[in-house]
A and B are shown apart, each in its own frame.
Chain A
Amino acid sequence: MALYSEKVMDHFRNPRNVGVIEDADGVGEVGNAKCGDIMKMYLKIDNDTITDVKFETFGCGSAIASSSMATELIKGKPVSEAMALTNKAVAEALDGLPDYKMHCSVLAEEAIRSALKDYERKKRGEDSPEED
């Protein structure tokens, strides 16, 4: 039996939306290198709709696949819908993750939420901690 589903391997081997958005409207980073996983999400938002999303990830196969899948799930969606994205939805879209890898999908959910909060902060005119 393979470690991961075919879908996880597909997203790991050919990650979607990899990269950086220089003039992002929202940026979120979660995790830490000590634990072995860091995810960074960049959002471009227009009219409360996510028009573009990119990610960078330091982590294992399922962390990279979870990031990739999460970007696909929110691209073109309204902010409210992206805010409601759950780790369960990410894992299900990947045809499941091994139990001890579920935290990777949690990180993906948190990374997106963190980027959306950054967007809202910026919209309110507050400084982003990212630019401190």
Chain B
Amino acid sequence: MIYADNAATTKMSEAAIHTMITTAQETWGNPSSLYQTGQKAKEVLEEARSRVAEAIGAEPREILFTSGGSEADNQAIRSAAELGKKRGKTHIISTAFEHHAVLHTLKKLESEGYTVTLLPVHENGLVVPEEVAAAITDETCLVTVMFANNEIGTIQPIREIGAICREKGVLFHTDAVQAIGHVPVDVVLDNIDLLSASAHKFHGPKGIGFLYARKGIRLTNLIEGGAQERGRRAGTENVPGIAAMTTALTDACKAMEANAEKLTVLRDKLIAGLSEIPHSALNGDAAKRLPSNVNFCFEGIEGESLLLLLDDRGIQASSGSACTSGSLDPSHVLLAIGRVHDVAHGSLRLSIGEDTSEDDVAYIIKSVKEVVEYLRGFSPVWRDLCAGKASFIL
């Protein structure tokens, strides 16, 4: 079995599982309790906070543990919006291909009277910093741009965008769910005010993540109750999850350079191999992308059929086709980079991992070529294209 859907989730590392179990066994106390069992849990919690902070160049007090990336995105955006409103600023800038945790939060804010500008991400899937600068007005309270896109893997010019926001006095949030543990992230160097992350994208457990908020930025609570997390997120802390996330993050950062080097070679082999399929195209910039991400469109076929047949061959991947989303529209990310519906339905995302081998890559290329050819063999769309009744798009 070849697992090539690490952008959806990753397998927990043995070390993270070990930490999770031992923490649950030995440090089961409530960190808010004053007796020793509680204080032991509190120590584990604060040690984790320090290590998570260290991994991204932050201070421990700037880290807030959440249930994952979506909660962190919601809280970051909601907080910046509330702060803006107090100063009469209700304009937010984002991009057309953000994760739905961001886009749906912005939609909600629009219904509450905020105005939202979604910047184009162009054919290469990259935001242009100058366009961010041009979009900022006196009303702007927040710019939120993802660090790396979850579907096409393009890495945004975060540092430049951050610098622009600093200069203009606008808060800058980045959804770094796909980036943390995979590419270098330093909140100080990258000029980031707010950042969201999720443990299960770097071999940690599901249901845990964190929000970085630069000190001085007052967060709005999404969950009211006790005084946990400096009063900004109520609920007894998920200590085993937090500890396991910390183990996974520390390990991921240690191995980052070596992994990135190895994965980049494999990624580029996949891109070269799949490019040999006629009337196909890579989605997103070929170089400014996550070392793990390959995303293609194949004309004349539909993505779900492709996934099912690849699954039969032991390859697990994903697609931006409508049929895999349960809606009639294909991926908003592919539409945002200008792929038309017809072509966007025939997309394939492969997100490889540290245990992907050279042999796996060769097998994936061979299998995708065969399956695409097979499906095209009885596709009326492909027949019309080949007969000249319709024009090839790719």
Task: Provide the B315-334 mask, 1 if CB < 8 A to any CB of A, else 0.
Answer: 00000011100101010000
B209-229: which residues lie under 8 A (CB-CB) from chain A?
A: none
Is the CB of B124 closer than 8 A to any CB of chain A? Answer: no
For B330, the closest partner residue in chain A by CB is: A36
Is the CB of B114 closer than 8 A to any CB of chain A? Answer: no
Is the CB of B342 closer than 8 A to any CB of chain A? Answer: yes
Is the CB–CB distance between A13 and B312 below 8 Å? yes
Is the CB of B33 closer than 8 A to any CB of chain A? Answer: no
Distance in angstroms between the alpha carbons of A64 and B368 in the assembled complex: 18
Is the CB–CB distance between B380 and A56 below 8 Å? yes
Known: A36-B321, A36-B322, A36-B323. Is A12-B305 also a contact (CB below 8 A)?
Answer: yes
Known: A58-B301, A60-B302, A60-B304. Is A40-B322 also a contact (CB below 8 A)?
Answer: no
Is the CB of A38 closer than 8 A to any CB of chain B? Answer: yes
Is the CB of B353 closer than 8 A to any CB of chain A? Answer: no
Is the CB–CB distance between B380 and A57 below 8 Å? yes
Is the CB–CB distance between B341 and A61 below 8 Å? no
Task: Provide the A94-117 mask, 1 if CB < 8 A to any CB of B, else 0.
Answer: 000000110000000000000000
- Chain A residues with CB under 8 Å of B383's CB are 20, 56
- Chain A residues with CB under 8 Å of B381's CB are 33, 38, 58
Is the CB–CB distance between B378 and A15 below 8 Å? yes
Task: Provide the A33-46 mask, 1 if CB < 8 A to any CB of B, else 0.
Answer: 11111111000000
Distance in angstroms between the alpha carbons of A100 and B378 in the assembled complex: 24
Task: Provide the A14-40 mask, 1 if CB < 8 A to any CB of B, else 0.
Answer: 010011100000000100011111111
Is the CB of A59 closer than 8 A to any CB of chain B? Answer: yes
Is the CB of A70 closer than 8 A to any CB of chain B? Answer: no
Is the CB–CB distance between A34 and B308 below 8 Å? no
Partner of B308 from A20, A39, A40, A61 at Cβ < 8 Å? A61
Question: Could you list 13 further interchain pairs (A-B, Cβ under 8 angstroms) beyond the known A35-B322, A56-B383?
Answer: A15-B378, A20-B383, A33-B341, A33-B342, A33-B381, A36-B322, A55-B378, A56-B379, A58-B301, A58-B302, A58-B381, A60-B323, A61-B323
Identify the 8 closest CB pairs spanning chains A and B, nearest first.
A60-B323, A60-B304, A33-B342, A40-B380, A36-B345, A34-B341, A56-B380, A58-B381
- Chain B residues with CB under 8 Å of A37's CB are 302
Is the CB of A53 closer than 8 A to any CB of chain B? Answer: no
Distance in angstroms between the alpha carbons of A59 and B341 in the assembled complex: 13
- Chain A residues with CB under 8 Å of B378's CB are 15, 18-19, 55-57
- Chain B residues with CB under 8 Å of A79's CB are none
- Chain B residues with CB under 8 Å of A15's CB are 378
- Chain B residues with CB under 8 Å of A9's CB are 308
Known: A58-B301, A59-B302, A61-B304. Is A35-B328 also a contact (CB below 8 A)?
Answer: yes
For A20, the closest partner residue in chain B by CB is: B383
- Chain B residues with CB under 8 Å of A60's CB are 302-305, 321, 323
Distance in angstroms between the alpha carbons of A37 and B328 in the assembled complex: 10
Is the CB–CB distance between A33 and B305 below 8 Å? no
For A104, the closest partner residue in chain B by CB is: B323
For B323, the closest partner residue in chain A by CB is: A60
- Chain B residues with CB under 8 Å of A91's CB are none
Distance in angstroms between the alpha carbons of A55 and B383 in the assembled complex: 12
Known: A15-B378, A18-B378, A60-B321. Is A33-B345 also a contact (CB below 8 A)?
Answer: yes
- Chain B residues with CB under 8 Å of A20's CB are 383
For A38, the closest partner residue in chain B by CB is: B380
Distance in angstroms between the alpha carbons of A101 and B328 in the assembled complex: 11
Is the CB–CB distance between B328 and A58 below 8 Å? no
B330-355: which residues lie under 8 A (CB-CB) from chain A?
A: 330, 340-342, 345
Is the CB of A63 closer than 8 A to any CB of chain B? Answer: yes
Known: A12-B308, A13-B312, A61-B304. Is A29-B380 also a contact (CB below 8 A)?
Answer: yes
